[in-house]
A and B are shown apart, each in its own frame.
Chain A
C-alpha cells in the first residue's frame, strides 16, 4: 500500500514536471517569436482566395450558436436596441476620401448579398447559417479609401470582461472578397442583439473571431500598430494569429 502510494506520488510529480516543462517552453519569448513565423507563411500560401462553400436551406442551423462576449449592456447600446436602431449610424472614416455615416435603412438599401455558409470557430466547432447583407467592398467603395489605405479596422460595441473593447481588422484585399460582408440578417430575420445586431462582419473564408459582432465604426488605416494592443484585433492582442484563414 505504502509502495503504491509512493509510486503514484512519484508518477504524479513526474507528470506535474511535464506540464512545468511545457509551460516554461511556451512562456519563453524567443520560442514564442520563432513559432510566429508560421503565420506569414500560411497567409502567403493559403491567403483569401476562392470561395467558401455554400449550403442548402436544409443545412441551416435554425438555432445558430451564440458565442463571443456577452451582448453589450451599456446605456449606449441599450438605447439603440430600444429605438430599434433608428439612431444607429455606421461610421466609415480614417484614410478615406468621403467619410460615411450610414443608417440601417441606407445599409439595407445596399443589400445584395445572401448566402448560406459555414461559420468555423477557432475552438473547432462549426455552424451553418444564411447570412444576408452588404458586401464590405460596396461600403468601402462609397468611402473611397485613400492611396495609403491598407486595413479596415472594425470597432465594436462589446467589451471583454476586463473592459477591453472588441475590435478586428482585415486587409483591403480580404475586405474586397465577394463573401466578406456586413451582415444585417441571419436566417432571413434581422440580426438579433445576441447575434451582433444591427451590423456584424461576416467572413466565411476565415475563422469566426474575425467576424466581429456589433460593429459601429470602420476605420481605414495604413497600419494598426497604434490601435489598442497593436496586433489588429482583440483576440490578436491576446495571442491569436492576425491571419485567421487556418
Chain B
C-alpha cells in the first residue's frame, strides 16, 4: 500500500488470494461485541421504559395536540381487545402485536411493546431503568475506548467519509443494486460503508446518548440548552426514539451485508481480527 500511487486505485488483484490481513484491532473487536450486548439491552430496556408512557409528543411538556406516535388499545368490546397504533392522528390496527399484547408473564395485557422484546419481559419500569442507565454507561465507556484506540491506530480515519468519496456513493449503490458491473475503486471500506459508519459513529450514537441525557431533569438544570435544542423534554424523547429506529435500521443492513458478503470471513475478522481481502478490496485508507 506504500505504492498506492503506482497501483491504479488499488483495485487490481495484486494480493495473494490466501493472504489474511489483520483488519480489526483487539480494542475494536472487544468494544464491538460489548456494544452488541449494550445495544440489545438498551433497546429492550428502552422499550420497557417507553411502555410506561406509550406516546411521543413534539413539544416540551406532554401535549396531546402535538402527539406524533401513540400505541394504545381498543378495549371497547370485551373479548375483542386489540392494539391501536396512532401516527400523526391516523389509527392503524395492531392486533395482538402492539398495544394489546404479550405481558411477558404468560398472559395478554394492555401494553405498547410485547414482553418478548422488553427487559424485563413483565412490566417493571424501575427495573427497565436500572438496566438502561447501567448499559448507557457501558455504551459510553465502550465508545470512548473505541474512539481513543481507533484514532490512535488510524483505524477510524479509514472509516470516515471524505469529500473524495462523495462522487462514488451513487456508483457504489448502483453496484449493490446490480446495475453496475464493477464498484468504483475504494480502499479498506467502500464509500457506502464509510457513509453508514460515519453517520452511526459520529452522529446517531452520540445523539442517542445526548437526547437520552436531555430527558434528565438534573441534566436539564446543569445544561439547559441541551434539552431546548431538541425542542424540549418530550421532543427529546421523540428524537431518542427516532434515533433508536435509525440504529435498528443500520443494524439490519449491517447484519444483512455481513451475512451476504462472506459471513465466515466477516465474523472471523471481528473475532480473531484476520480478514481475507476480496477482489475489489484494498487494505489502505
Listed in ascending order, the chain A residues whose CB lies under 8 Å from chain B are: 15-16, 18-20, 22-23, 25-27, 32, 34-39, 41-42, 46-53, 59, 61, 65, 118, 120-128, 204-207, 235, 238-241, 245-246
Contacts and interface: CB of A to CB of B under 8 A. Distances in A.
A238 B76 CA distance: 33
7 contacts: A23-B105, A27-B120, A32-B130, A38-B130, A53-B224, A126-B62, A239-B124
Interface stretch (B79-87, B131-139, B249-257): B131-139
Contact of B130 (A36, A127, A206): A36
Contacts of B28: none
A245 B102 CA distance: 32
A48 B44 CA distance: 29
B217 A207 contact: yes
B237 interface: yes
Given A37-B134, A53-B224, A238-B126, A124 B218 contact: no
A25 B119 CA distance: 9
B60 to A, nearest CB: 7
Contacts of B227: 53
A65 B215 CA distance: 19
A225 B136 CA distance: 28
A96 to B, nearest CB: 27
B8 interface: no
A123 B217 contact: no
A118 B61 contact: yes
A51 B221 contact: yes
What is the predominant secondary structure among interface residues of chain B facing chain A? helix
Contact of A204 (B115, B134, B213, B217): B217
B222 A19 contact: no
B104 interface: yes
Interface stretch (B45-53, B166-174, B178-186, B265-273): B45-53
Contacts of A240: 126, 129
B118 interface: yes
Interface of B: 44, 49-50, 52-53, 60-62, 102, 104-106, 114-122, 124-127, 129-131, 133-134, 136-137, 213, 215-224, 227-228, 233-234, 237
B55 to A, nearest CB: 8
B222 A46 contact: yes
Nearest to A20: B121
Contacts, number: 148
A50 B221 contact: yes
Given A124-B52, A205-B218, A61 B61 contact: yes
B62 A15 contact: no
B129 A23 contact: no
Contacts of B224: 50, 53
Contacts of A49: 218, 221-222
A35 B134 contact: yes
Given A26-B124, A239-B127, 6 more contacts: A15-B102, A20-B121, A38-B133, A52-B217, A127-B62, A235-B126
Contact of B104 (A19, A37, A47, A53): A19
A142 to B, nearest CB: 26
In order of increasing CB-CB distance, the 9 nearest A-B pairs are A245-B218, A19-B121, A124-B53, A239-B126, A26-B120, A15-B116, A246-B216, A50-B221, A18-B116
Given A35-B134, A38-B136, A128-B61, A48 B218 contact: yes
A43 to B, nearest CB: 9
A120 B44 contact: no
Contacts of A16: 102, 106, 116
A125 B53 contact: yes
A242 to B, nearest CB: 12
A53 B217 CA distance: 9
A192 to B, nearest CB: 20
B227 to A, nearest CB: 7
B126 A118 contact: no
Given A52-B217, A127-B62, A122 B125 contact: yes
A73 to B, nearest CB: 26
Nearest to B106: A16
A74 B72 CA distance: 35
A26 B119 CA distance: 7
Nearest to B212: A246
A39 B131 CA distance: 11
A20 B52 CA distance: 20
A38 B121 contact: no
Contacts of A35: 130-131, 133-134
